[in-house]
């Protein structure tokens, strides 16, 4: 076997470091530091060197994330530290009783709670030796689990090597593997196309994925991970982190992704506020959460309280209302959306679910209906997880009445009566009549939505009147309406009409990215629209771009590129763009104030690097990060000599200590806001 030279060994080590840093920035910090093409080239160079010189392969090499051969089975392993489950409380009253119980064990006059979102996924136990990941295991029964290290290595937000200069001999990390909602939906779409049984929910999909024997399949499904517990055996826990918040910060410094939606609470009342806030706030999250985990912040107090036979006394899961319930299917109707998609809906006997009364549930498409074999009269299990319209996940066929009939999708659009089509390879049946009232109503509501043109006063009721009375036939018509046109609508006087005209006129100032999103092109969300408009500065550039040019934009795939290209080839859409131009919409990026000789204006915090530590008085961490980045600054997860400012909140941890050691400038929230204002 050929031996690598010292120069080749150094090159391999540098490549490993560069690829690891790029992967950490992309998957954990969500802040890419290099283009995909550059990453791919560096990765392939490292891979080629390891193929030529196998002795260069290390356990923490990025090339070792996916195994070459499927495992034959999983082995049971005993956890080095047991994984206890949490006691449940289902309302603040039960939480109060939990607090009274632990205070009977040890009465503490002064204490704090840390609230963290309870991620609905699968618990993992990770073991690191000398900073290298050596084992990943499922929770199992808490004492033993299944060893799935090769699958764990495919999760990009789990570091193969910890970001520590002198790591302890052994570190144990606990956290939750999960599937984001968008990823889950994509997986089910692919399974539907292949005729495979759909996953009932992201939690089941994550658990099933982790137990795949072929780690290449696991890698394709793109699991994510949030870390929440750090344990270092044979070390005083308080010396490592005296508080739970410090523990979370240390996990971030080590290279883990930690959920940012955590809060230090000084009282039961503050816990109740956090719990109530996220009961609705969780509906906007890109992943599932079914409650709040409340932990006593002090590690010393945790030790004093200890454990019962089943649970830690110092933590509790404050769960939200049940998300599954049985009910009867009274009818199956079909809804037509703004893209023409026909969606079967189960009309249900009203049932209480997650704090609301549910009377409808989505059935997605005909494949989903057929896979469940759902019929009118069936008793079904309805599930609600972060969606406005719940879905049916199971049919209790043993309760099915006699003489029920399978559901059939209509051959004609229930709104306009035109024939419907289902393209090969697609699960969705569509109406393709551009004049269909349902499509037009959906397009107008989307155009007026907050993330698009944000037209105040243009809601579903007035849109329905515009369409039904043929006052508006496209979004462009909105900009040619008069006060009298609107005042003739039901419940609309001159004053209300003028307000709506003012809202429509104000929307002309919305930037090019919002207009592009408002056009409702398939697969183009608000983020993709912004990405595209950064590359294509005006509508003519985008309309004239080739598919390869659109796909070449960082973050844009072939499916999006094809959809954008096809949309601009339709004559009716070309006419729409011309009418929007004539109405004065922003179909090009506006140069910022201060641009000279073609050079972009320099933002206030350009080139400055920030680290945020502790809990700020009013700003959430994500909000503070967004404000800094909007001003041109960069926010990182760890303090280094390259850090310009550390923003310090209450209960700041080791990052503050490191900043003091390095002499880095510190800001409180007020000083940060002043800096941003200046």
Active site residues: 118
Q: How far apart are CA 446 and CA 448, in angstroms?
A: 5
C-beta atoms surrounding 240 within 10 Å? 17
Rg (CA), the chain: 28
Q: Which residues contact 231 (CB under 8 A, 6 or more apart)?
A: 81, 171, 172, 173, 174, 237
Q: How far apart are CA 431 and CA 413, in angstroms?
A: 6
Residue 611's alpha-carbon distances to 371, 546, 606, 614, in angstroms, are 50, 41, 15, 10
Q: How far apart are CA 47 and CA 146, in angstroms?
A: 30
3-state secondary structure 322-364: CCEEEEEEEEEEEEECCCCEEEEEEEEEEEEECCEEEEEEECC
Residue bearing tokens 């018509």: 477
Q: How far apart are CA 630 and CA 219, in angstroms?
A: 33
If 0-12 CB within 10 Å is exposed, 13-18 middle and 19+ buried, where does residue 429 land? buried
Q: Which residues contact 531 (CB under 8 A, 6 or more apart)?
A: 553, 554, 555, 556
- Nearest of 456, 447, 506, 450 to residue 477 by alpha carbon: 447
Q: How far apart are CA 421 and CA 425, in angstroms?
A: 12
Q: Extract the tokens encoding 462.
A: 């007035």
353, 384 Cβ separation under 8 angstroms: yes
Q: What is the pairing mode between strands 132-138 and 122-129? A: antiparallel
Q: What angle do CA 676, 660, 671 make, to 5 degrees?
A: 20
475 half-sphere exposure, CB direction, 13 A CA radius: 32
Bridge partners for 465 per DSSP = none
666 three-class SS: strand
- Nearest of 506, 474, 500 to residue 485 by alpha carbon: 500
Q: Where are the alpha helices (DSSP H) in 119-259?
A: 149-152, 181-193, 202-210, 215-221, 237-240, 244-254
Q: How far apart are CA 42 and CA 321, in angstroms?
A: 48
Q: At what angle do helices 558-569 and 571-583 cross, to 10 degrees?
A: 80
Q: Extract the tokens encoding 572.
A: 């009716």
Using left for φ > 0, alpha for ψ between -120 and 50, and beta otherwise, residue 523 falls in left
305, 314 Cβ separation under 8 angstroms: yes
C-beta atoms surrounding 378 within 10 Å? 21
Q: Which residues contact 263 (CB under 8 A, 6 or more apart)?
A: 114, 115, 270, 274, 615
- Nearest of 314, 354, 302, 358 to residue 90 by alpha carbon: 354
Q: What angle do CA 281, 283, 285 make, to 5 degrees?
A: 80
Instruction: Give 453's DSSP letter.
Output: T
C-beta atoms surrounding 343 within 10 Å? 18
Q: Extract the tokens encoding 515.
A: 């207009």
């Amino acid at each position: 076997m050929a031996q690598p030279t010292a120069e080749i060994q150094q090159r391999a080590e540098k490549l490993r470091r560069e690829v690891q840093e790029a992967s950490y920035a992309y998957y954990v910090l969500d802040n890419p530091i290099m283009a995909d093409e550059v990453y791919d080239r560096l990765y392939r160079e490292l891979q080629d060197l390891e193929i030529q010189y196998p002795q260069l392969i290390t356990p923490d090499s990025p090339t070792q994330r996916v195994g070459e051969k499927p495992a034959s089975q999983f082995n049971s392993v005993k956890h080095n530290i047991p994984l206890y489950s949490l006691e449940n409380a289902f309302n603040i009253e039960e939480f109060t009783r939990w607090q009274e119980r632990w205070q009977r064990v040890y009465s503490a006059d002064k204490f704090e709670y840390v609230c963290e979102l309870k991620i609905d996924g699968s618990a993992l136990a990770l073991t690191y030796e000398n900073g290298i990941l050596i084992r990943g295991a499922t929770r199992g029964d808490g004492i033993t689990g299944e060893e799935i290290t090769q699958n764990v290595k495919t999760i990009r937000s789990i570091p193969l090597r910890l970001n520590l200069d002198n790591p302890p001999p052994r570190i144990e990390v606990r956290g939750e593997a999960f599937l984001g909602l968008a990823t889950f939906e994509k997986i089910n779409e692919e399974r539907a196309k292949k005729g495979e049984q759909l996953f009932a929910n992201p939690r089941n999909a994550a658990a099933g994925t982790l137990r795949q024997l072929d780690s290449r399949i696991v890698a394709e499904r793109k699991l994510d991970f949030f870390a929440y517990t750090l344990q270092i055996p044979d070390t005083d826990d308080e010396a490592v982190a005296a508080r739970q918040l410090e523990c979370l910060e240390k996990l971030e410094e080590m290279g883990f992704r930690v959920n940012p939606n955590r809060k230090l609470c000084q009282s039961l009342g503050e816990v109740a506020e956090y719990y109530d806030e996220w009961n609705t706030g969780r509906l906007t999250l890109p992943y599932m959460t079914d409650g709040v985990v409340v932990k006593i912040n002090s590690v010393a107090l945790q030790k004093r309280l200890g454990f019962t036979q089943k649970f830690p006394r110092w933590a509790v899961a404050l769960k939200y209302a049940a998300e599954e319930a049985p009910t009867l299917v009274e009818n199956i109707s079909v809804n037509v959306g703004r893209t023409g998609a026909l969606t079967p809906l189960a009309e249900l006997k009203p049932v209480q679910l997650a704090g609301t009364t549910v009377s409808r549930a989505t059935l997605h498409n005909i494949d989903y209906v057929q896979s469940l074999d759902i019929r009118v009269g069936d008793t079904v299990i309805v599930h609600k997880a972060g969606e406005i319209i719940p879905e049916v996940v199971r049919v209790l066929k043993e309760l099915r009445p006699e003489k029920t009939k399978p559901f059939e999708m209509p051959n004609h659009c229930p709104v306009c009566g035109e024939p419907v089509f289902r393209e090969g390879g697609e699960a969705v049946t569509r109406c393709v009549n551009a004049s269909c009232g349902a499509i037009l109503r959906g397009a107008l509501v989307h155009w007026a939505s907050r993330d698009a043109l944000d037209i105040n006063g243009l809601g579903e009721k007035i849109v329905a009147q515009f369409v039904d009375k043929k006052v508006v036939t496209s979004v462009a018509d909105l900009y040619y309406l008069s006060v009298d046109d609107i005042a003739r609508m039901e419940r609309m006087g001159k004053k209300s009409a003028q307000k709506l005209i003012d809202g429509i006129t104000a929307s002309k100032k919305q930037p090019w990215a919002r207009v592009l999103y408002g056009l409702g092109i398939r697969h183009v969300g608000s983020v993709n629209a912004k990405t595209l408009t950064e590359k294509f500065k005006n509508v003519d550039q985008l309309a004239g771009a080739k598919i390869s040019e659109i796909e070449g934009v960082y973050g844009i795939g072939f499916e999006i590129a094809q959809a954008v290209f096809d949309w601009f080839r339709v004559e009716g859409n070309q006419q729409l763009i011309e009418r929007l131009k004539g109405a004065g919409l922003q179909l090009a990026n506006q140069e910022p104030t201060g641009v000279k000789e073609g050079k972009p204006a320099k933002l206030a915090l350009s080139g400055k690097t920030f680290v945020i530590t502790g809990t700020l008085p009013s700003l959430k961490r994500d909000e503070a990060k967004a404000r800094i980045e909007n001003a041109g600054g960069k926010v990182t997860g760890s303090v280094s000599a390259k850090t310009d400012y550390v923003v310090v909140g209450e209960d700041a941890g080791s990052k503050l200590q490191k900043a003091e050691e390095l002499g880095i400038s510190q800001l409180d929230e007020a000083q940060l806001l002043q800096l941003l204002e200046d």
